[in-house]
Structure 1
Amino acid sequence: MSGWEAEVSGREAVVSGREVVVVGVSGSLASLAALRAGAVQARRGGRVLVAVLAWEPPEGEGLYLRHPDPAWARHWYAEARGRLDRAFDEVFGGAPRGVVVERRVVRGRAGRVLCELAAHPDALLVIGARPRRHAARTHRYVHAHAACAVLTAPAPARPRGMRRTLRRMTAEDFALANQ
């Protein structure tokens, strides 16, 4: 079974009788650090790495349920799946070595989805340390409701002024750097 065949098949904490490391992935730098830390923990403990990207319709479930559009839901799902794939490409260049990986794209609030997937006391839940404003709710929910150990992975530090410098760079600047 490929990683995408069992995306939403269930929200159990044990996959094929093996313990899991559940990682919340959003594409942020903090979640990429969490994905890397989760892979290390899964490799070290012989566990399955379950990378989860939870998504909701942009206007929220309430409005979507009043005016459902399956075509848009498929589009948002595909976008979320692409974000999860890009996260693996950015962190590992594809798939991590020496780890059994299961990728899941689940529709629902991130905190609730992560806690449901890591409901077993032997599971490990890994999240990024620097939440953006909209992710702070997820962090509060996870820390209040997790039934297992929670590992918070710090995002890499950004040098001061780097964002401003990168915004001002042009394609020619990158071309000159590669010569």
Structure 2
Amino acid sequence: MGNREKIREGYCQMVDEWVGRGWEPWLLTFTYKQLDGSPAIVISRMKSEIERTFASVTTRVVRRPNSPSQFKNLPIWICSPDYPVYKRDKGSFRDNAVNDGLHFHGVGLMPPVSRMTESLEDHIDNYQTMYSGAHRDLFRVHVQAIEDEVAEVAGYALKGIENPRINPDDVLILPRTRSEMR
């Protein structure tokens, strides 16, 4: 097993453990408008949009997300850049053509106790225009509940880690620790 596979397996195991503690798992997909710049700049802009989305969702989960005492109650998102893989059903031309198909997949873990009164999927659907739209680089956020085979779905979401076109350092883990934010 190579290093990339071990990294992916470690994330999947971590997700499985959190779900065992009562956290709700969600499959996250972030697609973007056409972004200009080098691959590093494009990925940086994509990650910024995910961070902005996460920050907004977090304020609906806990009252004071920046409080050290709330850190253990924050959602956890593990997101990886990804490219489409060949499929018999080719899917949307737009999704495969924009940014050469580059997008982000992730696993969102929502804590057992939350101020959010609706599911993450319903929240994102209800406020899609706040997270994406004409004034954003983000084209769409899609959220789907992971109901079975959590580790397998997490493996699918993080499959980009094993792609040699992807730098494993581009995996985005949120929330960031306080030392990373300085």
TM-score by length of 2: 0.33
**Whose Rg is larger?**
1
RCO (CA 8 Å, sep 6+): is it higher in 1 or 2?
2
TM-score by length of 1: 0.33
